[in-house]
Structure 1
């Protein structure tokens, strides 16, 4: 049996700009991760409340505006920290994507924070991707970032070109 060439698999996309579908699937996965973190935080707060005040066990009841502010902060923090530290969120890792600063360098904390705020405030900016010549969302255009396929952690593999 012959060994498949790198051109047959995901390696052929290494370093290329990611499209709308891959980015949308990654974003949906990230929404689920943030919701999971929020539920765990709510259960943890309920457990602390139970230990301090006694029965009954109940998560805290927050006002709608406070829930919105905390949800915004949690989402922005999750995205910004993930993009600063590894360039990948859980969803991006799942889809083999990485957010980079052109030309392929890490995003940095300031750009990651601004990009996270833009992505949360204006999520429909993602739909600019198929209209852009370089598959960039509105957030990518503002902070000069790119979302690229990265199956090998920024390294070229089997003769493939490295990240841009």
Structure 2
């Protein structure tokens, strides 16, 4: 009865077009919630369950919900991801790899695997370059990265390559 009903489709389209939306940058917090910063004066609360779909720094479009004079944002689509290529520390648990980006506000481990052609056997604590391959707002189930380059072993300090790279 309701399948392929043109009136129902029109009503859904109308409701969708009337729903308030905002575009902005996600600002994460250490407590698990975040904010969608639209401009210098306006930001919307993003509850912890919705923060699992985004990460700090993502530029997104969100649906704005109003309940009891409180406004919150529900991420709807990704405009520009914060992470595309990044450096991080490898974690290994039960033979599964994950990488934690080297960024003060990004604490969650992102599941990953070594890219084809990368010969290194990654261990706990190794540093690597990774590229994001999946994002929840792109229709994927979760975040996923690919390790594209080994940098250094665990316990070795990262230092900028200035001058002679072979010097201690």
- Specify the TM-score bucket, using the shorter chain as the normaliser: under 0.3
Higher strand share: 2
What TM-score do the two structures reach when normalised by structure 2? 0.26
What TM-score do the two structures reach when normalised by structure 1? 0.26
Larger Rg: 2
Query: Looking at both structures, which has the greater relative contact order when contacts are Cα pairs under 8 Å and sequence separation is at least 6?
Result: 1
Higher helix share: 1
